């Protein structure tokens, strides 16, 4: 349960103001069809985070827990710093209308935008640290959906009321604490 809850919370916080959340807003404004957009985000997230979590578990097995403790500690601290840098959505990340439909366009755009993103890196780290892997993937997917689905349905109203800078600061503190705990070997 710890892996699920921590994964959900970390990714939901990390996603606030992230470029994939901005992409969700752009998709909602462009297509005005929330259900296929939310379904596309869900499918892209499950696929992306399953691969990321598996990569983290593989890394743990390949390099061992002693080295991985340092990798995780440094990664979480780097994520804390990265949380304080605001994301911007590039024009190339926003899909145009296509013959593939709203669902396929959303799935493809979201999967690609998530590559190398904060939440994907966090999923790799969580997959390396926690078992069972399914708890991490379900948790990170739920975190993504908690952050992105409301944006698709309610758009600008939410983004104007949520203090993104404060959310990023809280997420940065959480990542920093997790990094320090990993470096100190707490919980191993």
Token digits for 7?
């994964």
Token digits for 87?
């994301």
Burial category of 44 from C-beta neighbours within 10 Å (exposed 0-12, middle 13-18, buried 19 and up):
buried
Q: What is the mean pLDDT of each run of 10 residues along the chain (188 residues)?
A: 95 88 85 93 98 95 88 84 70 55 93 90 93 96 96 76 73 84 78
């Amino acid at each position: 349960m710890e892996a699920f809850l921590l994964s959900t919370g970390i990714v939901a916080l990390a996603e606030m103001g992230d470029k994939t959340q901005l992409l969700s807003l752009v998709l909602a404004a462009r297509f005005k069809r929330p259900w296929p957009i939310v379904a596309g985000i869900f499918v892209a997230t499950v696929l992306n985070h399953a691969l990321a979590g598996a990569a983290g578990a593989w890394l743990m097995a390949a390099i061992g827990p002693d080295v991985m403790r340092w990798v995780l500690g440094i990664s979480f601290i780097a994520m804390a710093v990265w949380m304080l840098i605001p994301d911007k959505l590039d024009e190339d990340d926003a899909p145009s209308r296509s013959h593939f439909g709203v669902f396929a366009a959303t799935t493809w755009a979201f999967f690609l935008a998530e590559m190398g993103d904060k939440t994907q890196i966090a999923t790799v780290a969580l997959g390396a640290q926690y078992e069972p892997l399914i708890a991490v993937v379900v948790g990170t997917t739920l975190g993504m959906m908690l952050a992105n689905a409301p944006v698709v349905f309610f758009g600008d109203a939410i983004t104007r009321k949520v203090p993104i800078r404060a959310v990023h600061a809280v997420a940065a503190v959480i990542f920093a604490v997790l990094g320090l705990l990993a470096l100190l070997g707490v919980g191993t």
